């Protein structure tokens, strides 16, 4: 049976969890000599630099200001001297402005930081904006934009995304275990200032300790429930999560708000609550360090802008030469071109793969087994998409709904021929966008 063109059960794949660091409480790494802080660590327009070379800055000081509707504030993560304001090529191949700060080691807090004054919805959204909060599960969507709902009465519930479905990553798990009180303070803030009364915390079944902790607190909190999700990837995908917790289907091209829902990452929610309490903006991250090349996998707390090189050296180093380094998990992570790349706001893990783990399997001819289609959460047909892309048949790509692909990688993972299906889908989406722009004359 299909509902609005999508099968009534969203499929996926079973992955080895590899949650080796789930029981390891994060350690705070020493402050590095320098940090490089990009002005674009979020979806939307990059922030506008508001300091100058030679300035002395302190921890939490605003260095990049929201520029436009879709943007996010950026703050200094260390105290020290601004040595350089320039450009860098990010991991997506886009040039962005950046600020290099030479740390003085003092970690002096900016004296103008204070607990935000929040009394209503508007001041709450303004506080979230000033905090620099973005989606910390990896998406990087500016949080104040997501929460600035025009019609609050249309929001029936909040889905708190604690699925953390990718292998290796356990930073959200640590939020549930180490900052559970802030998760529920965040819930109360949304209830108080947005008037939302129903909350669902969606957690995969492989996180039993976190489930028990969240359930114990939810039982004491009105309107909060914990939904245990099967450990089937990609449970953390927004459309998948909404469907499996509410039974509602987000329409093609739509948002969770279209079905009366807001989805927020659990670490983002905890951070917002913490900011409302102490006024310290988003300046550091808990990230998972793991992979076959890592000597000692662990969770670490680092200042935003710390280089991956400094992070791994301070974490115990590598036991093998890495052949591939990823921001995020092995399914949807972004390959890092250099160890000098910085930890970003939306970095939840850095995975180091040795030569054996990173080796690409040999690709063979498609055998038309249909495994890619049957395991796609949205029942897209990667075989037909690949053919249409090869033929530059953009009308076919549009009919095949390639723009719905969430790039989760299920198709590539399950393909017995090891075909690069998700990579082809990405290229096909770009081709379709260019075709539609030309068609509209944009």
Domain annotation covers residue 355: no
Please tell me whether residues 146 and 268 are part of one structural domain.
yes
Domain annotation covers residue 47: no
Q: Which of 228, 258, 278 is the last residue of a domain?
A: 278
Please tell me whether residues 237 and 370 are part of one structural domain.
no
3-state SS class at 78: coil
Domain annotation covers residue 42: no
**Per-residue pLDDT at 1 exceeds 70:** no
DSSP state for residue 305 in the 8-state scheme? T
Please tell me whether residues 264 and 370 are part of one structural domain.
no
Specify the pLDDT at position 139. 81
CATH of the domain at 259: 3.40.50.11540
DSSP of 334-400: EE-S-TTPBPPTT--EEEEE-HHHHPPPPP-------HHHHH-TT---HHHHHHHHHTT-HHHHHHT
Per DSSP bridges, beta strands 74-75 and 62-65 are: antiparallel
Q: Which of 237, 258, 278 is the last residue of a domain?
A: 278
Domain annotation covers residue 102: no
- CA 96, CA 104: separation in Å to the nearest integer? 25
Domain annotation covers residue 104: no
Domain annotation covers residue 1: no
pTM of whole model > 0.85? Answer: yes
- In the chain, the number of structural domains is 2
- CA 303, CA 35: separation in Å to the nearest integer? 8
Question: pLDDT, tens digit, for every residue of 267-321?
Answer: 999 999 999 999 999 999 999 999 999 999 999 999 999 999 999 999 999 999 9
Please tell me whether residues 388 and 261 are part of one structural domain.
no
Question: pLDDT, tens digit, for every residue of 221-241?
Answer: 999 999 999 999 999 999 999
Domain annotation covers residue 118: yes
Please tell me whether residues 120 and 230 are part of one structural domain.
yes
**Per-residue pLDDT at 28 exceeds 70:** yes
- What is the rounded end-to-end Cα distance, in angstroms, of the chain? 38
Please tell me whether residues 386 and 250 are part of one structural domain.
no
Please tell me whether residues 382 and 256 are part of one structural domain.
no
Q: Which of 278, 298, 329 is the last residue of a domain?
A: 278
**Per-residue pLDDT at 6 exceeds 60:** no
> CA 126, 128, 133 angle in degrees (round to 5)?
145
Domain annotation covers residue 419: yes
Residue 406 structural domain: 362-440
């Amino acid at each position: 049976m299909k509902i609005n063109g999508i099968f009534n059960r969203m499929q996926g794949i079973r992955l080895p969890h590899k949650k080796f660091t789930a029981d390891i409480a994060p350690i705070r790494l020493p402050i590095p000599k320098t940090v490089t802080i990009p002005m674009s660590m979020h979806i939307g327009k990059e922030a506008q630099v508001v300091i100058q070379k030679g300035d002395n800055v302190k921890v939490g000081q605003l260095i990049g200001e929201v520029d436009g509707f879709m943007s996010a504030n950026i703050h200094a993560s260390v105290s020290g001297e601004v040595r350089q304001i320039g450009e860098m090529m990010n991991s997506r191949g886009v040039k962005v402005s950046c600020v290099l700060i030479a740390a003085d080691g003092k970690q002096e807090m900016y004296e103008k930081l204070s607990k935000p004054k929040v009394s209503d919805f508007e001041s709450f959204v303004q506080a979230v904006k000033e905090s620099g909060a973005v989606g910390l599960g990896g998406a990087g969507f500016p949080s104040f934009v997501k929460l600035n709902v025009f019609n609050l009465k249309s929001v029936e519930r909040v889905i708190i995304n604690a699925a953390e479905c990718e292998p290796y990553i356990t930073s959200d798990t640590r939020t549930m275990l180490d900052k559970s009180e802030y998760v529920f303070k965040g819930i109360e803030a949304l209830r108080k200032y947005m008037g939302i009364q129903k909350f669902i915390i969606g957690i995969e079944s492989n996180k039993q300790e976190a489930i028990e902790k969240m359930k114990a607190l939810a039982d004491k909190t009105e309107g909060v429930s914990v939904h245990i999700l099967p450990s089937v990837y990609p449970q953390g995908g927004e459309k998948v999560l909404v469907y499996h917790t509410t039974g509602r289907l987000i329409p093609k091209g739509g948002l969770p708000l279209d079905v009366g829902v807001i989805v927020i990452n659990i670490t983002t929610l905890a951070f917002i609550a913490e900011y409302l309490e102490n006024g310290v903006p988003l300046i550091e991250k808990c990230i998972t360090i793991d992979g076959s090349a890592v000597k000692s996998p662990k969770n670490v707390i680092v200042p935003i802008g710390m280089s991956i090189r400094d992070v791994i050296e301070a974490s115990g180093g590598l036991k093998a030469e890495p052949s591939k380094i990823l921001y995020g998990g092995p399914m949807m992570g972004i390959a890092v071109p250099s160890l000098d790349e910085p930890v970003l706001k939306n970095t939840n893990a850095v995975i180091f793969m040795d030569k054996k783990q990173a080796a690409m399997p040999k690709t063979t001819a498609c055998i038309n087994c249909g495994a890619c289609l049957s395991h796609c959460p949205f029942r897209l047909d990667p075989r037909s998409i690949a053919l249409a892309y090869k033929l530059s048949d953009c009308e076919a790509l549009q009919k095949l709904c390639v723009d719905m692909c969430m790039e989760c990688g299920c198709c590539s993972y399950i393909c017995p021929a090891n075909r690069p299906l998700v990579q082809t889908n990405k290229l096909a989406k770009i081709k379709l966008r260019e075709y539609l722009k030309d068609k509209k004359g944009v």
